[in-house]
Amino acid sequence: MRQYSVSPGNFAGGLSTIEEKSMGALIKSGSRPIEGVLKVGVKPPHRGLWLLDSTPDPYWMQFGITNPNDNEGLMDLVACHSHIVFLVTGRRNVVGSAVAPLYKNNGKLSHLQGHGGGYGL
């Protein structure tokens, strides 16, 4: 499972394990208490910080290897009734959505210059 959870872009950005990737996600989530864990497509019962369990089906390999990506993750969040999605990216990702606003965060000033918008610093 580990080999499919860290993308080539994550490796290029300096991540080497799913644990490192998870620590980054945890730090970016802030200091609010976690309310619980949701499955894809389940609406949170109340406001707060929720985690999304998007672990593939145990038999997912029988249909071929999937490549988890930002488009798939965006649709998973929209299916849970997200009103806006924040995407933290350092690779100039062009993902977007017609059904939910997407705000891209990027800490690399060189990526923001001349990009034409859609990013926040």
Annotate 10-70 with three-state secondary structure.
HHHCCCCCHHHHHHHHHHHCCCCCEEEEEECCCCCCCCCEEEEECCCCCCHHHHCCCCCCH
Question: Would you say residue 88 lies in a domain?
Answer: yes
Supply the range of the domain harboring residue 46.
32-120
Question: Would you say residue 75 lies in a domain?
Answer: yes
Q: In this predicted structure, what is the pLDDT of residue 100?
A: 76
- Pair 80, 52: CB distance under 8 Å: yes
pLDDT band at 33 (very low <50, low <70, confident <90, very high): very high
Question: Would you say residue 56 lies in a domain?
Answer: yes
Question: Would you say residue 24 lies in a domain?
Answer: no
> Mind listing the pLDDT tens digit for each residue in 61-74?
554 455 566 777 78
pLDDT band at 2 (very low <50, low <70, confident <90, very high): very low
Question: Would you say residue 39 lies in a domain?
Answer: yes
Report the Cα 68 to chain-centroid distance in Å.
10
Structure token digits, residue 115: 């990009």
Q: In this predicted structure, what is the pLDDT of residue 34?
A: 92
Q: Please give the tally of structural domains in the chain.
A: 1
Question: Would you say residue 46 lies in a domain?
Answer: yes
Question: Would you say residue 25 lies in a domain?
Answer: no
* pTM of the predicted protein model: 0.64
For residues 30-41, give the mean pLDDT: 90
> Mind listing the pLDDT tens digit for each residue in 57-113?
555 555 445 556 677 778 888 888 887 777 776 666 667 777 777 777 666 666 556
